[in-house]
């Protein structure tokens, strides 16, 4: 299954039409960290979607003010490399 990664910046409604889209998770994470560092965005999240625009994970990858990230979803953590 091909995944697409939506980056939501200060968008608590998670409007996919307003999201920045990335073909890979590392690209989405790198851009999210850049936005946090350069713009001071305080509500930054990533969600994976399939080709039908259905959420793949049960929870977002979230970023703190230092650009560190985490998720409560096991599949997201595995894809981030936190779980082998």
pLDDT digits (tens, 9 = 90+) for 37-72: 998 888 899 999 999 989 999 999 999 988 899 999
Instruction: Read off the pTM.
Output: 0.90
CA–CA distance, 69 with 82 (Å, rounded to integer): 11
- What residue spans define the domains of the chain? 4-80
Taking residues 5-30, what's their average pLDDT? 94
Distance of CA 84 to the CA centre of its chain: 20
- pLDDT tens string 19-38: 999 999 999 999 999 999 99
């Amino acid at each position: 299954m091909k995944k697409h990664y939506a980056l939501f910046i200060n968008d608590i409604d998670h409007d996919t039409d307003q999201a920045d889209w990335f073909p890979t998770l590392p690209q989405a994470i790198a851009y999210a960290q850049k936005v946090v560092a350069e713009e001071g965005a305080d509500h930054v999240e990533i969600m994976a979607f399939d080709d039908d625009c259905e959420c793949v994970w049960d929870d977002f990858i979230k970023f703190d003010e230092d650009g560190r990230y985490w998720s409560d979803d096991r599949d997201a953590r595995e894809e981030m490399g936190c779980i082998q």
